[in-house]
Amino acid sequence: MNSPAPAKTRPRGVASAGRPALLLAWYDRHRRRLPWRPLAGERADPYRVWLSEIMLQQTGVKTVGPYFEKFLARWPGVEALGRASLDDVLRLWAGLGYYSRARNLHACAVAVLCDHGGAFPDTEEGLRALPGIGPYTAAAIAAIAFGRRTMPVDGNIERVVSRLFAVEQPLPQAKPLIRQLAATLLGAGDEQSRAGDSAQALMDLGSSICTPKKPACALCPLNDECVARARGEQEVYPRKAPKKTGALRRGAAFVVTRGDQLLVRSRPEKGLLGGMTEVPGSDWLAAHDDKTALKQAPALKAVARWHRKAGVVTHVFTHFPLELAVYTAELPARARAPEGMRWVPVATLGDEALPNVMRKVIAHGLGK
């Protein structure tokens, strides 16, 4: 951890007024090159800003990059995405996780195309009325794409601001206060001020310098004013309330093959992993019972006995961890799929909208 900074003699109010300018000057020298970010002096594309912000929810920049490029190549604008099928969107999204984002992404594109003539609303209020766009995302798009004088607050900005002001209240209770403090880092001016650059500067600062562990305080443009640094307590902030972990759930998954084909079905549109492809399975319950789970196996006359694979497949969702026992069976060539299910070639599984948990299940069941 860096040593505490020496005490400053200049009035805090004077230094505070200069923070936005210091931040923007640093950003002009060190801004990250990202596929959705325009070059300095160029206007941001609202479609790219929106697409990246939806993908970046709960997901890091390195993971999002390739998916963003694939989506942009397939659907270069909101009009093209709005005319796509949800199945195609889910297929291209597969592996990125948090699949409600993909459904909202498609619904939002349709709404922009049908209700707004293919142009995104340019205010926070108008953006928040669209599917899948909450307060943060609306503020981010409004600031970055349209220059509105507002400050979105993501995890990086929360960390920078909580350290800069030594916010003692833990997250998530501290969020309203952090938003108020973050807004003070916007430069004075009208709607044409560099609000988007100010927001992205704080995001870059949190990503590259004000990192969760061992922040590079000596390189920070705001280090003279950072209360946490002055105390030598950078890594104490942001303070966080203890996380509540959901109870472990268990279930069974049934990997059924017919030659080189696999039995699958689509999950209900609403709910966890809505609309995604899966192999048949039981309910996921805390009070799991193997006998009860086997009663939920697909009705297949040709299966005399299910073979349980050794071990279990584990996966962690946002609110609970999961363990799945995997059962396998092989059916004759002419076996029919039960109602609501279908056979797909194993070789084309890459084209299916399979969530990561199902990819694990299938690999385990097929012995790969």
Inter-residue contact 137 to 206 (CB < 8 Å): no
What is the Cα–Cα distance from 223 to 70, expressed in whole angstroms?
A: 39
What is the Cα–Cα distance from 221 to 21, expressed in whole angstroms?
A: 10
H helices present in the chain, as ranges: 12-30, 46-56, 61-74, 78-83, 86-93, 100-115, 124-128, 135-146, 155-164, 175-183, 195-208, 227-231, 290-294, 356-366
Judge whether 352 counts as a catalytic residue.
no
Q: How many CB atoms lie within 10 A of CB 25?
A: 13
CA 291-295-298 angle, 5° bins: 135
Per the structure block, which two tokens stand in for 4?
A: 């505490």
The 8-class DSSP code of residue 186 comes to S
Out of 53, 124, 278, 352, pick the active-site residue. 53
3-state secondary structure of 120: coil
Q: Which residues contact 285 (CB under 8 A, 6 or more apart)?
A: 249, 250, 251
- Residues marked active site are found at 53
